Amino acid sequence: MRLFSRLALEQNSIAIKAANMTVRSIFKSRNDNNEDHSDTINMTPLIDMVFILLIFFLVTSSFIRESTVAVQRPRAATATPQQNTDLIVTIGSDEQIWLNNDSVDIRMLRARIEQQGLSGPSRSVVILADQKTSTGLLIKVMDQLRLAGLATISVAASTEPDPS
């Protein structure tokens, strides 16, 4: 009977040691994994946000270039820079009218603006008129722009150099 109890005790102690080793190895591997992850920074969300912001700014920004038609602007001492221009109408020295670099007849100017969805009281337009352009044509163009629903109309001018 003593031998049997001694064998049972040895088996129990071996089983307990094996269980302790298994539990230790489980906790050790969990701690090792946590230590590995706590030292690194996951960059994926940061990169995602940067690309989302980049796409947002590309979509919301407007890229309007000044007309490529050669125009000699009249000079003015009080000319100020215009910000946020939605539309550019150019009148050349030959009295040809250009809407965003597309040639257009004065009779079709209003229809073209409305057709392209460029009309509305919140839209702004800059007229680049050559200094040789007649005042009558400039007034006709401004009239067509107002009839198209554009309220903010500016005429571009170059600043005069200081006489010093």
Task: Compute the Cα dihedral for 42, 48, 49, 54 and give only its sign.
Answer: positive
> Do the Cβ atoms of 159 and 81 come closer than 8 Å?
no
User: Is the confidence at residue 23, as pLDDT, over 50?
Assistant: yes
Three-state DSSP class for 138? helix
pLDDT tens digits, residue range 106-122? 888 888 888 877 777 77
Chain center to CA of 69: 27
d(CA 159, CA 65): 19
Q: Supply the pLDDT for residue 50.
A: 95
Amino acid letter, 24? R
- pTM value is 0.50
pLDDT tens digits, residue range 59-100? 887 665 555 566 666 666 666 666 667 788 888 888 888 887
